[in-house]
Amino acid sequence: MKKTNSIIKTAKKTILIESNAIANLANLIDADFEKAVNFILNSKGRVILTGIGKSANIGAKIVATFNSTGTPAIFMHAADAIHGDLGNVQTDDVVICISKSGNTPEIKVLVPLIKNYGNKIVAITGNVDSYLGEHADFTINAYVEQEACPNNLAPTTSTTAQLVLGDALAVCLLELKGFTSKDFAKYHPGGALGKKLYLRVSDLIKNNQIPKVNESDSIAKVIIEISEKRLGVTAVMNKEKLVGIITDGDIRRMLSKTTQISKFTAKDIMGNNPKTIHKNAMAIDALQIMEKNSITQMLVINNKNKYVGVVHLHDLIKEGIF
């Protein structure tokens, strides 16, 4: 069994080999990369990613990145392609073929079939002089000097290089398309990341009750309102106008000073300048205001500055925003 220092040394060596190889890719980017990006950008079809072995696994990940950043893509395994899946390739589709050697049997069979269909091929290969490199319409150089594997066999550095080049393609395309955070949200509606980009305060408060009391109401009524509405807070109103806020903390602080609550009204203990947020504001904005002011609730208003509800930190936690 290797000693701990030997394990750490091997891990660091692996990282350095791969990071140096990735840094060198910047020197290999040439006009073909730019031409490939522009061709994909102007294509009316999709992007088909294909490969064999570990390169196929990388292709599947690049497909996911493309789709999530506004470039429609599908994955087609090179071995399956020559046994029926070639039907996935439609007119105007662009095929990105990934192969370290560029000379695997499946690639040699697949490339001429794709070209016979009239589709353009973008090669991502570590050997630009290979069959794939020479027959592709655009060749992206993914050369690495060595694998991180001590035997220089297991695809490690080479697959990392392929992945990085796929990311470079995706980022170039999204920038050229003007892909924004709002676009990103449309493709990521399910997770917390997407919710941060599209969830609004109005979405959070729609099931909440709307606690409110008049400024002349008794403290007893204030306590009942806060307890019944279960949000730890109530708005204080002067007719239809929002004039203040009372939290359960305000109640506790008052009771720590006196138990003679009958002589007090809501106006006597309310905060006069409650923090408010518009119902159409982003949920993430509500969280930032709460964090900045060390509060757990905010009153919500509409376009006419009318009080319409309460957003609570628990609402943000429930949605995975916090």
The distance from CA 224 to its chain's CA centroid, rounded to whole angstroms, is: 43
- Identify the residue whose tokens are 């390169």: 55
**Would you place residue 302 in the very low, low, confident or very high pLDDT band (cuts 50, 70, 90)?**
very high
**pLDDT at residue 19 in the model:** 97
Pick left, alpha or beta for residue 53 (phi over 0 → left; psi -120 to 50 → alpha; otherwise beta): left
- List of residues 6+ apart from 59 with CB closer than 8 A: 49, 50, 51, 75, 96, 98, 166
CA distance 259 to 263: 10
Q: What is the DSSP letter of 143?
A: -
pLDDT value at 13 more than 70 = yes
**pLDDT at residue 262 in the model:** 86
pLDDT value at 36 more than 60 = yes
**Annotated binding-site positions:** 77
**pLDDT at residue 308 in the model:** 97
pLDDT value at 187 more than 70 = no
**pLDDT at residue 84 in the model:** 86
Please name every residue paired with 282 in a beta bridge, in sequence order, or none if there are none: 200
Cα-only R_g, the chain? 30
Pick the closest to residue 243 from 279, 208, 210, 267 (CA basis). 267
**pLDDT at residue 261 in the model:** 86
pLDDT digits (tens, 9 = 90+) for 153-165: 899 999 999 999 9
Quote the tokens at residue 249.
Answer: 């903390």
Whole-number Cα distances in Å, 169 to 4, 74, 262: 39, 15, 70
pLDDT value at 259 more than 90 = no
CA distance 104 to 106: 6
- Mean pLDDT (whole number) for 297-303: 95
CA distance 245 to 211: 10
Average pLDDT taken over every residue of the chain:
92
CB 114 within 8 A of CB 89: yes
Whole-number Cα distances in Å, 81 to 77, 88, 111, 208: 6, 8, 11, 54
- Mean pLDDT (whole number) for 33-46: 97
CA distance 246 to 274: 9
**Would you place residue 266 in the very low, low, confident or very high pLDDT band (cuts 50, 70, 90)?**
very high
175-179, 181-185, 253-257, 271-275: range with lowest mean pLDDT: 181-185
- Mean pLDDT (whole number) for 252-281: 91
pLDDT digits (tens, 9 = 90+) for 196-208: 767 899 999 999 9
pTM recorded for the entire structure: 0.69
**pLDDT at residue 3 in the model:** 67
Q: Coil, strand, or helix at residue 297?
A: strand
Whole-number Cα distances in Å, 309 to 276, 283, 285, 300: 10, 14, 16, 5
CA distance 211 to 227: 10
- The full set of domains in the chain, from first to last, is 4-179 (3.40.50.10490), 198-318 (3.10.580.10)
pLDDT digits (tens, 9 = 90+) for 65-74: 999 899 999 9
Percent of the chain residues topping a pLDDT of 70: 94
**Would you place residue 192 in the very low, low, confident or very high pLDDT band (cuts 50, 70, 90)?**
low
pLDDT value at 276 more than 60 = yes
- Identify the residue whose tokens are 């994955």: 75
CB 266 within 8 A of CB 214: yes
**pLDDT at residue 135 in the model:** 97
- List of residues 6+ apart from 200 with CB closer than 8 A: 279, 280, 281, 282, 283
Quote the tokens at residue 154.
Answer: 């297991």
**pLDDT at residue 185 in the model:** 65
**Annotated binding-site positions for Zn(2+):** 77
pLDDT value at 127 more than 60 = yes
Please name every residue paired with 311 in a beta bridge, in sequence order, or none if there are none: 298
Quote the tokens at residue 199.
Answer: 């969830």
